[in-house]
Amino acid sequence: MAYTYDYPRPALTVDCVIFGLGEGSRLKVLLIQRGHEPFRGCWALPGGFVQMEETLEEAALRELEEETGVANVFIEQLYTFGDPERDPRGRVVSVAYFALVNLAEHPVQASSDAKNVQWFEIEQLPSLAFDHNYILQIAINRLRSKVRYQPIGFELLPEQFTLTQLQNLYEAILGVKEPLNKRNFRTRILKMGVLKEVGKQEGVAHRPAKLYSFDKERYEQLARERYEDLIKRGVDFEI
Protein backbone atom coordinates (compact mmCIF):
# COMPACT_ATOMS: atom_id res chain seq x y z
CA MET A 1 0.00 0.00 0.00
CA ALA A 2 1.30 3.43 -0.90
CA TYR A 3 0.38 6.97 -0.02
CA THR A 4 0.63 9.74 -2.55
CA TYR A 5 0.68 13.50 -2.12
CA ASP A 6 0.97 16.48 -4.47
CA TYR A 7 3.93 17.87 -2.60
CA PRO A 8 6.75 16.08 -0.81
CA ARG A 9 6.37 15.70 2.95
CA PRO A 10 8.97 15.25 5.67
CA ALA A 11 8.57 12.16 7.82
CA LEU A 12 7.50 12.96 11.36
CA THR A 13 8.84 11.19 14.42
CA VAL A 14 8.79 11.61 18.19
CA ASP A 15 11.67 10.99 20.59
CA CYS A 16 11.54 10.61 24.36
CA VAL A 17 14.13 11.77 26.85
CA ILE A 18 13.19 9.92 30.02
CA PHE A 19 15.23 10.89 33.04
CA GLY A 20 15.27 8.49 35.96
CA LEU A 21 16.26 8.90 39.57
CA GLY A 22 16.23 6.63 42.54
CA GLU A 23 17.12 7.60 46.07
CA GLY A 24 20.63 8.86 46.39
CA SER A 25 21.53 7.95 42.85
CA ARG A 26 22.81 10.02 39.99
CA LEU A 27 20.58 11.26 37.23
CA LYS A 28 20.06 8.64 34.53
CA VAL A 29 18.49 8.53 31.10
CA LEU A 30 16.66 5.71 29.37
CA LEU A 31 18.20 4.54 26.08
CA ILE A 32 17.52 1.73 23.65
CA GLN A 33 19.91 -0.12 21.42
CA ARG A 34 18.61 0.09 17.88
CA GLY A 35 17.56 -3.15 16.19
CA HIS A 36 17.34 -1.75 12.65
CA GLU A 37 19.30 0.38 10.25
CA PRO A 38 20.30 3.13 10.26
CA PHE A 39 22.54 3.13 13.32
CA ARG A 40 21.76 -0.53 13.98
CA GLY A 41 23.28 -1.55 17.31
CA CYS A 42 23.80 2.06 18.30
CA TRP A 43 22.24 3.51 21.45
CA ALA A 44 19.46 6.03 20.90
CA LEU A 45 16.52 7.75 22.50
CA PRO A 46 13.32 5.73 22.32
CA GLY A 47 10.98 7.05 19.64
CA GLY A 48 9.47 6.43 16.24
CA PHE A 49 7.05 7.53 13.56
CA VAL A 50 3.85 9.40 14.32
CA GLN A 51 0.70 7.67 13.13
CA MET A 52 -2.13 9.51 11.43
CA GLU A 53 -4.80 9.29 14.08
CA GLU A 54 -2.82 9.96 17.24
CA THR A 55 -1.64 13.17 18.87
CA LEU A 56 2.09 13.80 19.19
CA GLU A 57 1.99 13.06 22.87
CA GLU A 58 0.15 9.80 22.27
CA ALA A 59 2.75 8.84 19.70
CA ALA A 60 5.55 9.53 22.16
CA LEU A 61 3.92 7.47 24.90
CA ARG A 62 3.14 4.63 22.51
CA GLU A 63 6.69 4.42 21.20
CA LEU A 64 8.07 4.65 24.70
CA GLU A 65 5.96 1.77 25.90
CA GLU A 66 6.58 -0.34 22.78
CA GLU A 67 10.31 0.05 22.95
CA THR A 68 11.01 0.08 26.66
CA GLY A 69 7.95 -1.17 28.51
CA VAL A 70 7.79 2.11 30.40
CA ALA A 71 4.25 3.44 30.78
CA ASN A 72 2.28 5.92 32.84
CA VAL A 73 4.62 8.85 32.74
CA PHE A 74 3.84 12.54 32.44
CA ILE A 75 5.74 13.76 29.44
CA GLU A 76 6.17 17.30 28.33
CA GLN A 77 7.10 18.66 24.93
CA LEU A 78 10.74 19.69 24.74
CA TYR A 79 11.54 20.98 21.27
CA THR A 80 11.14 20.08 17.62
CA PHE A 81 14.27 19.23 15.66
CA GLY A 82 14.10 19.82 11.94
CA ASP A 83 17.56 20.08 10.45
CA PRO A 84 17.30 18.58 6.95
CA GLU A 85 20.52 16.61 7.55
CA ARG A 86 19.68 15.13 10.92
CA ASP A 87 18.64 11.72 9.57
CA PRO A 88 20.49 9.82 6.82
CA ARG A 89 17.23 8.34 5.53
CA GLY A 90 16.07 11.72 4.31
CA ARG A 91 14.01 14.52 5.74
CA VAL A 92 12.79 13.53 9.18
CA VAL A 93 11.46 16.07 11.63
CA SER A 94 11.29 14.94 15.24
CA VAL A 95 9.25 16.29 18.11
CA ALA A 96 11.08 15.53 21.36
CA TYR A 97 9.38 14.98 24.71
CA PHE A 98 10.87 14.63 28.15
CA ALA A 99 9.93 13.34 31.59
CA LEU A 100 11.48 12.66 34.96
CA VAL A 101 10.49 9.40 36.61
CA ASN A 102 11.24 7.25 39.60
CA LEU A 103 13.66 4.53 38.54
CA ALA A 104 12.24 1.99 40.95
CA GLU A 105 8.72 2.38 39.63
CA HIS A 106 9.68 1.92 36.01
CA PRO A 107 11.29 -1.41 35.29
CA VAL A 108 12.46 -1.60 31.71
CA GLN A 109 11.98 -4.35 29.18
CA ALA A 110 13.34 -4.57 25.65
CA SER A 111 11.01 -5.48 22.80
CA SER A 112 10.84 -6.14 19.07
CA ASP A 113 12.15 -2.82 17.81
CA ALA A 114 14.97 -2.57 20.31
CA LYS A 115 17.66 -5.13 20.99
CA ASN A 116 18.25 -3.79 24.44
CA VAL A 117 17.10 -1.14 26.90
CA GLN A 118 19.09 0.43 29.68
CA TRP A 119 19.41 3.35 32.08
CA PHE A 120 22.64 5.30 31.55
CA GLU A 121 24.18 7.76 33.93
CA ILE A 122 24.13 11.25 32.48
CA GLU A 123 27.82 11.57 33.17
CA GLN A 124 28.74 8.40 31.27
CA LEU A 125 26.92 8.40 27.99
CA PRO A 126 27.79 6.49 24.86
CA SER A 127 27.76 8.18 21.50
CA LEU A 128 24.14 8.17 20.32
CA ALA A 129 22.40 7.74 16.97
CA PHE A 130 21.27 10.72 14.86
CA ASP A 131 21.43 14.04 16.76
CA HIS A 132 20.36 12.38 19.98
CA ASN A 133 23.34 13.52 22.03
CA TYR A 134 22.35 17.05 21.14
CA ILE A 135 18.68 16.49 21.96
CA LEU A 136 19.67 15.03 25.29
CA GLN A 137 21.83 18.02 26.12
CA ILE A 138 18.93 20.34 25.42
CA ALA A 139 16.76 18.21 27.67
CA ILE A 140 19.26 18.34 30.53
CA ASN A 141 19.41 22.09 30.29
CA ARG A 142 15.65 22.30 30.30
CA LEU A 143 15.32 20.02 33.28
CA ARG A 144 17.85 22.01 35.27
CA SER A 145 16.20 25.32 34.56
CA LYS A 146 12.78 23.96 35.19
CA VAL A 147 13.73 22.73 38.61
CA ARG A 148 14.51 26.30 39.57
CA TYR A 149 11.06 27.73 39.21
CA GLN A 150 8.72 24.80 39.39
CA PRO A 151 8.26 22.22 42.09
CA ILE A 152 9.39 19.41 39.85
CA GLY A 153 10.41 16.06 41.10
CA PHE A 154 7.93 15.45 43.86
CA GLU A 155 6.58 12.55 41.81
CA LEU A 156 9.96 10.87 42.16
CA LEU A 157 9.67 10.52 45.87
CA PRO A 158 7.30 8.33 47.78
CA GLU A 159 3.97 9.98 48.61
CA GLN A 160 5.51 10.81 51.97
CA PHE A 161 9.12 11.90 52.08
CA THR A 162 11.69 13.56 54.31
CA LEU A 163 13.39 16.85 53.60
CA THR A 164 16.69 15.03 53.30
CA GLN A 165 15.27 12.87 50.53
CA LEU A 166 14.04 15.98 48.78
CA GLN A 167 17.42 17.62 49.15
CA ASN A 168 19.18 14.58 47.71
CA LEU A 169 16.80 14.70 44.80
CA TYR A 170 17.63 18.30 44.05
CA GLU A 171 21.32 17.64 44.36
CA ALA A 172 21.01 14.79 41.87
CA ILE A 173 19.01 16.79 39.34
CA LEU A 174 21.36 19.73 39.54
CA GLY A 175 24.42 17.52 39.54
CA VAL A 176 26.09 19.52 42.31
CA LYS A 177 29.52 18.60 43.65
CA GLU A 178 29.17 20.07 47.13
CA PRO A 179 25.97 19.25 48.98
CA LEU A 180 23.58 22.15 49.39
CA ASN A 181 23.39 23.86 52.77
CA LYS A 182 20.87 21.91 54.81
CA ARG A 183 19.59 24.79 56.90
CA ASN A 184 18.99 27.04 53.96
CA PHE A 185 17.50 24.39 51.74
CA ARG A 186 14.94 23.61 54.40
CA THR A 187 14.08 27.18 55.14
CA ARG A 188 13.51 27.90 51.49
CA ILE A 189 11.48 24.85 50.70
CA LEU A 190 9.27 25.23 53.73
CA LYS A 191 8.76 28.94 53.17
CA MET A 192 7.19 28.11 49.81
CA GLY A 193 4.31 26.63 51.72
CA VAL A 194 3.60 23.73 49.41
CA LEU A 195 4.59 20.94 51.77
CA LYS A 196 2.23 19.39 54.28
CA GLU A 197 3.63 17.74 57.39
CA VAL A 198 2.07 14.29 57.56
CA GLY A 199 3.88 12.31 60.23
CA LYS A 200 7.30 11.02 61.09
CA GLN A 201 9.64 8.14 60.46
CA GLU A 202 9.64 5.07 62.67
CA GLY A 203 12.24 2.46 63.44
CA VAL A 204 15.29 4.34 62.26
CA ALA A 205 18.53 4.29 64.22
CA HIS A 206 18.63 8.04 64.58
CA ARG A 207 16.30 10.90 65.26
CA PRO A 208 13.22 10.20 63.16
CA ALA A 209 12.63 12.67 60.35
CA LYS A 210 9.36 14.44 59.79
CA LEU A 211 7.48 13.20 56.76
CA TYR A 212 6.00 15.61 54.26
CA SER A 213 3.78 15.38 51.24
CA PHE A 214 3.36 17.78 48.36
CA ASP A 215 0.23 19.90 48.66
CA LYS A 216 -0.84 20.18 45.05
CA GLU A 217 -3.91 22.31 45.63
CA ARG A 218 -1.96 24.79 47.68
CA TYR A 219 0.65 24.89 44.95
CA GLU A 220 -1.90 25.70 42.30
CA GLN A 221 -3.45 28.40 44.41
CA LEU A 222 -0.07 29.99 45.06
CA ALA A 223 0.83 29.81 41.39
CA ARG A 224 -2.30 31.77 40.53
CA GLU A 225 -1.66 34.38 43.21
CA ARG A 226 1.92 34.71 42.14
CA TYR A 227 0.91 35.46 38.59
CA GLU A 228 -1.31 38.31 39.76
CA ASP A 229 1.54 39.58 41.82
CA LEU A 230 3.94 39.48 38.93
CA ILE A 231 1.59 41.55 36.86
CA LYS A 232 1.27 44.12 39.62
CA ARG A 233 4.89 44.64 40.44
CA GLY A 234 6.49 44.07 37.10
CA VAL A 235 9.60 42.24 36.48
CA ASP A 236 12.41 40.79 38.38
CA PHE A 237 14.40 39.03 35.83
CA GLU A 238 17.35 37.18 37.05
CA ILE A 239 19.60 37.19 34.00
Which residues contact DNA by CB under 7 A?
162-164, 181-184, 186-188, 191, 200, 202-210, 233, 236
Query: CA 103, 105, 110, 114 torsion: positive or negative?
Result: negative
How far is Cα 114 from Cα 191, in angstroms, rounded to an integer?
46
Of 79 and 219, CB closest to DNA: 219
Residue 176 binds a second copy, judged by CB under 8 A: yes
How far is Cα 74 from Cα 66, in angstroms, rounded to an integer?
16
- DSSP H or E segment with residue 17: strand 11-21
Which position among 103, 171, 186, 196 is part of the footprint of a second copy (CB under 8 A)?
Answer: 171
Of 159 and 229, CB closest to a second copy: 229
Q: Where are the alpha helices (DSSP H) in 43-177?
A: 56-68, 132-149, 163-174
Residue 91 binds a second copy, judged by CB under 8 A: yes
From the CB of residue 39, how many other CB atoms can be counted at a distance below 10 Å? Answer: 16
Residue 206 binds a second copy, judged by CB under 8 A: no
How far is Cα 95 from Cα 89, in angstroms, rounded to an integer?
17
| Binding partner at 223 among DNA, a second copy, none, C-beta below 5 to 8 Å by kind | a second copy
Please identify, among the stretches 38-46, 62-70, 114-122, 187-195, the one whose residues bind a second copy according to the rule CB under 8 A: 187-195
How far is Cα 19 from Cα 92, in angstroms, rounded to an integer?
24
Q: Which residues of this chain interact with a second copy, rule CB under 8 A? A: 1-12, 49-50, 52-57, 77, 79-80, 82-84, 91, 93, 95, 147-151, 170-171, 174-176, 178, 180-181, 184-185, 188, 192, 194, 219, 222-223, 226, 230-239
